[in-house]
Structure 1
Amino acid sequence: MEIIFLGTGTSQGIPVIGCSCSVCQSTDPRDNRLRVAVLLRKENQQIVIDAGPDFRQQMLRAGVTDLNAVLLTHEHNDHIIGLDDVRPFIFRQLTPMPIYCDERVAGELQERFAYAFAEDPYPGAPRFELHHTNQKELIQIGDFDIGIIRYFHGRLPIQGYRIGNFAYLTDIKRITDKELEKLDNLQILVISALHHEDHHSHLKLKEALALIERINPQQAYLTHLSHKMGAHQDVEKLLPENVCIAYDQLVLSLDN
């Protein structure tokens, strides 16, 4: 399985509009971050986790021509607002786009993208096929066996995913011991770390590193980084040997 980081930034991305800080002005391409999302590829099957406002650009940049499904972590705009841009896949594949999310998120989609569920849709409208993940511990999409990891983004319950020895937890602040048990024996963990200061709904770097130590993956990658975290090359020097900063267009390979 290939893991392609489509975006590794926060809801504002990097550079932030109008910001003159050293990170936003950096010439290191690793400091240029679209909104957070990841593509998983196995043979001729491809799924994405989250579809934010940069989704179209991400699909073009990664050369994606077919898409089997979209997994959503939660309903914040930087994770769902690009869903309209699945239309070319729908038109090419001649089938509604399967979207996997919990029931609360599905309700938000039906409100924000009401035209995608209309009984008499206008020509060219997307069509979404919603799959609720409530009460499910495992979902299957083609050859992907996907476990659901539940945790909290502030007080908002959201979900991440485990596929084989890979797990993806973005926008995380708190997780129960029961859910942590689902993360044993990971080869690769992707986890968010916003910046260095306390935040009500995101792990700061110190907290993310402590959680990584508890989970004990072979390798961890940090995502959903704010420009306040610092430059890629500087922050990497602060990290343990088994922790790296992810960056846009990074590709990882996983045998599972």
Structure 2
Amino acid sequence: MTDDLTLTFLGTGTSTGIPVIGCECETCRSTDPRNTRTRSSILIETPETTLLVDSGPDLRQQALRENIRRIDAVLYTHGHLDHVTGFDDLRAFCWHRDAPLPMHATTECMATLRSMFAWAFSSANTYRGYVKPDPRLIEGPFTYGRLKITPLPVQHASVETVGFLFEYPGCKSAAYFPDAKAFPPVTLAALKDVDVLVIDSLQPTPHATHFSNEEALAMIGEVKAREAWLIHLGHQNEHMTLESTLPRHVKVAYDGLKLSLARTT
């Protein structure tokens, strides 16, 4: 087994998913599979560990499609519904564990999880078939094996939201920000010259709580990311049309895409 950091895009869509219910636009009627987008989530894998970032409402479908058999921990960016409501599907990754499943979240997000899924966090939750969370508050960088994970704050609506910077020996650094409208100075500093930036790019026009395409490109330029992938895409963004407008180092992600982040030179 070679040392590698692999990032799989489980979902790349916004909160509605694509196609949008009842919509007849070009993107929603497209036969290009890259325009079919489940809610945004990624899987991070190293030889030692497998981590899920967010458990959205399409988790079951995503896990079956990618044949995910094991998750060692879940990392949450924030508590909005499109990032947490696949929580109960995590029981499939608890059945064969003796220990509870670590779940990393901010104080606000953990409170949301405890409120929405109180049965899972209850001391009365003893049935083996249920989700067994091991709640771990995000208070700074943490590690799984040789993988270093640095949570970084972002501005997104009124909820406490973070993205994550992943660093693994011998591999490109990768940062993941599915929901953001602005990066504070501490986050900008941490992302300078990041190798791979995965970033929110909701739509061509400005939005109150998400980066527009233009804003995402500006942020990619500001941090000098060597490579970038656009995600959390709304149906206003048709895959080929959007990609044709981008600089060479920026691409449009799609569900099922896998990135090997091992350095080749």
TM-score band, normalised by shorter chain: over 0.9
Partners of 2:36 and 2:232 lie apart in 1 by: 12
How far the C-alpha of 1:83 sits from its partner, in A, is 1.2
Match of 1:154 among 157, 170, 182: 157
How far the C-alpha of 1:217 sits from its partner, in A, is 1.1
Partners of 1:247 and 1:215 lie apart in 2 by: 23
What is the match of residue 65 of structure 2?
Answer: 61
The one-character-per-residue Cα deviations of 1:65-93 (angstroms, maximum 9, x if unpaired) are: 11110000000010011011111111112
Code of the aligned partner of 1:150: P
Partners of 1:119 and 1:3 lie apart in 2 by: 35
How far the C-alpha of 1:255 sits from its partner, in A, is 2.2
Partners of 2:254 and 2:131 lie apart in 1 by: 30
2:80 is the counterpart of 1:79: no
Code of the aligned partner of 2:92: P
2:143 is the counterpart of 1:131: no
Instruction: Give the secondary-structure state (helix, strand or coil) at the position aligned to 2:71.
Output: coil
How far the C-alpha of 1:122 sits from its partner, in A, is 6.0
Partners of 1:82 and 1:155 lie apart in 2 by: 22
Code of the aligned partner of 1:17: I
The one-character-per-residue Cα deviations of 1:12-60 (angstroms, maximum 9, x if unpaired) are: 1000111111100100000000000000111152101111000111111
Match of 1:37 among 29, 36, 41: 41
Q: Larger deviation: 23-32 or 171-180?
A: 171-180
1:201-220 matches, within 5 Å, as 201-220=209-228
Gaps of 5+ in 1: none
2:10 is the counterpart of 1:6: yes
Match of 2:175 among 167, 173, 180: 167
Say what the alpha-carbon RMSD is for the aligned residues.
1.2
Instruction: Give the secondary-structure state (helix, strand or coil) at the position aligned to 1:130.
Output: strand
Instruction: Give the secondary-structure state (helix, strand or coil) at the position aligned to 1:185.
Output: coil
Is the contact made by 1:110 and 1:117 (CA closer than 8 Å) also made in structure 2? Answer: yes
Match of 2:104 among 95, 100, 106: 100
Instruction: Give the secondary-structure state (helix, strand or coil) at the position aligned to 1:91.
Output: coil
TM-score, with length taken from structure 2: 0.92
What is the match of residue 170 of structure 2?
Answer: none
Is the contact made by 2:156 and 2:210 (CA closer than 8 Å) also made in structure 1? Answer: yes
Code of the aligned partner of 1:131: R
TM-score, with length taken from structure 1: 0.96
Runs (4 or more) in structure 1 with deviation over 6 Å come to none
